[in-house]
Structure formats: structure tokens, C-alpha cells
Amino acid sequence: MTQTPRLPTPRLAALAALALAGMAQAQPAAAQDCGSAGTITVAEMTWLSAATLAHVAQKIMEAGYGCDAQLVPGDTVPTATSMLTRSTPTVAPELWVSTVQAQWDEMQAKGNVYKASDIFAGGGQDGLWVPDYVLEQNPQLKSIEDLAANWQIFEDNQNPGKGRLYNGPPGWASEVIITNYYKALKLEDSFELFSPGSGENLKASIARAVAQGAPWVGYYWGPSDVVGKFKLVRLGMPESDREKFTCLTDANCADPQVTGWAAGEVAVAVVSDLKDQAPAVADFLSKMQVPNDEISTVLAWGDDNGATPEEVAVHFLKEYDAIWGAWVPAEVAEKVKSSL
């Protein structure tokens, strides 16, 4: 015999509705997890800052959100190309957009990758740098436009009568730009534009000068372990003019003009699907940003201690929770700290 279902009383119906409403409200607050995302791949690029930040992101996602987060090898151009064409890796924590502007513009048009955050609070900083003591000893030297009148500070014993200005290494985009700055600043009569031969030689030249307390001026970029370790200061520049700077990037620039080197756009690049699959993780990535000076100090610690990128990441997570703790909810931060 079929039994007629009994309808709930108004009181029971009301209680059930309240319970369902409570569950609906509680669910998002508790969903600090990886959602429906499968494996999240994180690009570990070849230089210390990018590799360190990849490990930081991976550890927070794994320990804090329970994600299957895996590091994959990367570098600026191949990573950007792969994200554009195959939507992989899922996250690139330090993608220098200005270096791969064409691919980035295609990603934005396609809509498969977005910028979750600017990883460096002050942007990427390229330019001509000196050790801090050079400015303390020579207060008249403030900007790149003061170099010609102050070449004697940097006089080269091997080439008396001229200062030495270190260029970017062969093959780097900076080599073309600094060469054009050299022409625009009319430094031919006062400075030798010196090629270091390699990135390691450039770094070694700075180390030698600082160890001796000697003057040094040349190309570098920040944030970086070198800027933090050797306390480099970027010489001032005028405001950046896009058209003038575009010419400086061209080896065939007919008339190089002095202009500022705009802060580089450096993105936390993320595949768009992650926003729907793991909204809590996407929210964390939207807040992932480090102050330039602090991350340079962290990287200098890594260089001084011969640490691997993973060891530098652990050092950052242990010692700088005031920075990364603001990226995530308190319960996620506690999980990460416990994992260390």
C-alpha cells in the first residue's frame, strides 16, 4: 500500500530553511581550499628572485590550501609562449611583461591569461647604478645627466683620462639600451663603454669594487641579490618618454635622446580558468606582492649563504610573515607556518 508523504509543519519547514541558509552562508567562508583545480603548475624560472617566488607560491598553495602544486622549469620567453598557446603553466609568479610584450598582448586579446598582481611593489627597475658610498662621497652626483661632468670619480687606471661605464652583457636587451644612453648622454669623450662579457663578470666587477671601496657605475636591475648585497643605488633619471625610450631599445636608433627608464611591468601571470576552479587560491595570487628593498635583502641573504631557491623561500616564509601573511587568511597562514 502506498503511503501518502507527510508534509512538514510550518515550524519544521522554517527550521529547515534556516539550516539550509546557514549552510549556504558558511560554505564560502570555509572554502579556503583548492576547489576543483587539478594539478597547479608553477613556473620556476632560472634567476634567483623568480625561482624563490615560485617556491613561495608553491608552498603556500600546497600547505595552506591543500593544492597539488608542482614546480615546472621555465624562462621568460618559453613560459609566455606556452601560457599563450597551451594555457600552461598555471602560474608564473615573476613574468617580465615588458620583455614579452607581443605575447602578453596576445594573451590579453585571447583572454586565457590575466595579471593577478604586480609582483614588485616598485616595479622592475633597470638603469645605471652605483654603490651607496659613491653618492655619500660625491653628493653632486645625483642623476645620469651628472655623469659627464663627474667622470673623474670613475677614472679607469687602465685607461687614464676616461671613466669606465659598465654595459649590459652581450646579447642582453640592456646592451643596446645602455649603448644608446651612452650616445644620448654624449659620454664618448669622458667614458669608456666597457663590456663585461657575461652576467657573472658584471656581478664580479661590482663585488671587486665594493670589496675595495672603489667607485663603480654601470648597468644592473632590481630587485636582485646584487642590489641588496652590495647596496646599489640607481642614479636618477628624467621622466620617461615612451617614444624616446622605444628608440633607445633599437640598435639602429638614429637619434638617441635622454629619457627615463620606465619601471618594468612584472606580473603574477595566471591562467584564467583558475579563478573559477580555485577562487580562494586566485584571491591569494591577487595579493601576492613584495616590496623591492625587502626582497632584494632576502635574495642577498640567499647569495651570502649559498642557499638554493627553496631555502631562500623558506627563509622568507619564516622571517617575513608580516609581508606574506597579508596575502592569505589567518587560518591559511597558520597552516603554512606549521608546515615549515
C-alpha cell at 57: 607560491
- The Cα 170–Cα 167 span in angstroms is 9
Q: Whole-model pTM? A: 0.79
Count the neighbouring beta carbons within 10 Å of the beta carbon of residue 16.
11
Asked if 264 and 125 touch (Cβ cutoff 8 Å), the reply is yes
Q: State the Cα–Cα distance between residues 297 and 227, nearest whole angstrom.
A: 8
Same fold for the pair 33-123+264-339 and 125-248: yes
Kindly indicate the confidence band of residue 38, based on its pLDDT and cuts at 50, 70 and 90: very high
Band (240; pLDDT cuts 50, 70, 90): very high
Place of cell 590579453: 108
Asked whether the predicted pLDDT for residue 24 surpasses 90, the reply is no
Question: What pLDDT, in 10s, does the model give residues 243-290?
Answer: 999 899 899 999 999 999 988 899 999 999 999 999 999 999 999 999
**Could you identify the residue written with the cell 584571491?**
283
CATH architecture of 125-248: 3-Layer(aba) Sandwich (3.40)
Residue ranges covered by each domain of the chain: 33-123+264-339, 125-248
Q: How confident is the model at residue 2 (pLDDT cuts 50, 70, 90)?
A: very low
Q: For the segment 127-184, what is each residue's pLDDT rounded down to a tens digit?
A: 999 999 999 999 999 999 999 999 999 999 888 999 999 999 998 889 999 999 999 9
Higher pLDDT, 26 or 322: 322
Q: What's the pLDDT at 100?
A: 87
State yes or no: pLDDT of 203 exceeds 80. yes
CATH number, domain 33-123+264-339, options 3.40.190.10, 3.40.50.620, 3.50.50.60, 3.30.1490.20: 3.40.190.10
Antiparallel, parallel or unpaired: β 232-234 and 218-222: unpaired
Q: Is the CB of residue 302 less than 8 Å from the CB of residue 311?
A: yes
Q: How far is CA 58 from CA 46, 53, 93, 318, 322, in A?
A: 16, 8, 10, 15, 19
